[in-house]
Amino acid sequence: MQEIAPLPSVGRNDGKNRIMEYIFLKSEVREDGITIMTVSAPKSLNALNSTVLREIDDFVSNLDTQKTRVLIITGDGEKSFVAGADISEMVHLYEKEGYEFSKLGAIAFRKIELLPIPVIAAVNGFCLGGGCELAMACDFRYASSNAKFGQPEVGLGITPGFSGTYRLAKLIGQGYAKEMIYTGKAIRADEALRIGLVNAVYAPEELMERVIETAQKIVANAPLAIRYAKECINESYDMVAADAIELENRNFGKCFATEDQKAGMTAFLNKEKPSFKGC
Ligand code: CAA
């Protein structure tokens, strides 16, 4: 995977701890193993400029996935998750820079997809272009009833650039993906639910509570088993059936080398609640 040079503004080390200082990201590391990363660029409805993309890359690259068991990604405010890549930056780009900008987003989003922990998008409002692509890099999405999804790029004279053509077609099928991308139309949350782009829709004030509830259910389960399951689901995307099944056989086997497998099954047989250690 190609490395991205971190921006000087992004992280520093005070000798003991790495200190994250971001311009466009806020984060909350909670006691219950859930971390919330919020994209915050209110003047542009949380649009993704190259600094935000580098910050996301840095954040994900340095996330402690032992402490954080579920990552939630959201946007600041109720109006917008992310309204796309930053058009005021892209307007000045030519072919080479366009390619590099696309790579920057694609690499950061691929790192989200490959995190060894589940990532949930809490989609609050506009989820357009690069915003929809960010949400699709997450494992699944819950939306607020005011969310709007779309890939409006062709109306700006460009294609989706942060792996939207790839992930949208995989997620909702080529027919719906082509319709959304060719027309550039925005769809409402209920339509996104119907075509499988999101898993659930809630009132805006309820959204984060519901996402956290689901995240807590995940945290209660065995982290290594979840990691292996995620690896199987991700990898089998691009595999023939025999390889995908073999990978599952191997990861299933690996679970039996963990203490959590013994703890989980013993607790079940003793009619107790299991307590998992992640080893
Ligand atoms: N880039 C830069 N600025 C943006 C932006 C974006 N993607 N989206 C919104 N903004 C800015 C607006 O320019 C405006 O700034 P000013 O106040 O300085 O004028 C501010 O955010 C508020 O936006 P609006 O006044 O337009 O708010 P609205 O409620 O009337 O409309 C909207 C909201 C429908 C989301 C509209 O802002 C919009 O259409 N935004 C662009 C959406 C878009 O095309 N996204 C795809 C970008 S391309 C892409 O993402 C490529 C890729 O795949 C990598």
How far does the centroid of ligand 1 lie from the alpha carbon of residue 44, in Å?
Answer: 6
Question: Quick one: what percent of the chain has pLDDT higher than 90?
Answer: 91
**Residue among 51, 53, 81, 87 whose CB has most ligand 1 atoms within 8 A, to mutate:** 87
**What pLDDT shows up at residue 10?**
53
Confidence of residue 234 (pLDDT cuts 50, 70, 90): very high
Task: Transcribe 30-80 into DSSP letters.
Answer: -TTSEEEEEE--GGGTT-B-HHHHHHHHHHHHT--TTT-SEEEEEESSSSE
Residue 78 has pLDDT above 70, yes or no: yes
**Both tokens assigned to 209:** 């509570």
Mean pLDDT, rounded, for 128-137:
98
Is residue 14 pLDDT above 80, yes or no? no
Q: Which is nearest to 143 in space by CA: 118, 168, 124?
A: 124
Catalytic residues: 133, 153
- pLDDT bin (cut points 50, 70, 90) of residue 251 is very high
Residue 2's pLDDT band (cuts 50, 70, 90): very low
- 12-16, 153-157, 169-173: segment of lowest average pLDDT: 12-16
pLDDT of residue 11: 55
**For the whole model, what pTM was predicted?**
0.94
Q: Establish how many alpha carbons lie within 13 A of residue 23's alpha carbon, considering only the half-sphere containing its beta carbon.
A: 14
Position in ligand 1 atom list of the atom nearest CA 130: 50
Residue 206 predicted with pLDDT over 50? yes
Reported as a pLDDT band with limits 50, 70 and 90, residue 3 is very low
44 lines ligand 1 (CB under 6 A): yes
Mean pLDDT of 256-275: 96
Residue 123 pairs in a beta bridge with: 143
Report the chain's terminal Cα–Cα distance, integer Å: 28
pLDDT category at 21 given cuts 50, 70, 90 is confident
Q: Reply yes or no on whether the pLDDT at 153 is more than 90.
A: yes
Q: Which atom of ligand 1 is nearest to the CA of 84?
A: 50
- Roughly what angle, to the nearest 10 degrees, separates helices 130-137 and 95-114? 30
pLDDT at 6 over 80: no
pLDDT in tens, 163-187: 999 999 999 999 999 999 999 999 9
Mean pLDDT of 42-67: 97
Return d(Cα 3, Cα 5) in angstroms, integer.
6
Average pLDDT over residues 207-216: 98
Quick check: 12 pLDDT over 80? no
E-strand spans in the chain? 11-13, 18-20, 25-29, 34-39, 70-75, 80-82, 119-123, 126-128, 140-144, 148-150, 187-188, 200-202
Q: How far is the CA of 87 from the centre of ligand 1 (A)?
A: 7
Tell me what pLDDT residue 256 has. 97
Residue 106 CB neighbours (<10 A): 19
Mean pLDDT of the chain, nearest integer = 94
- Residue 22's Cβ-side half-sphere holds a number of Cα atoms within 13 Å equal to 24
Residue 4, pLDDT score: 42
* pLDDT on residue 9: 47
Question: Atom 19, ligand 1: which residue's CA is nearest?
Answer: 44
Tell me what percent of the residues of the chain surpass a pLDDT of 70. Answer: 93
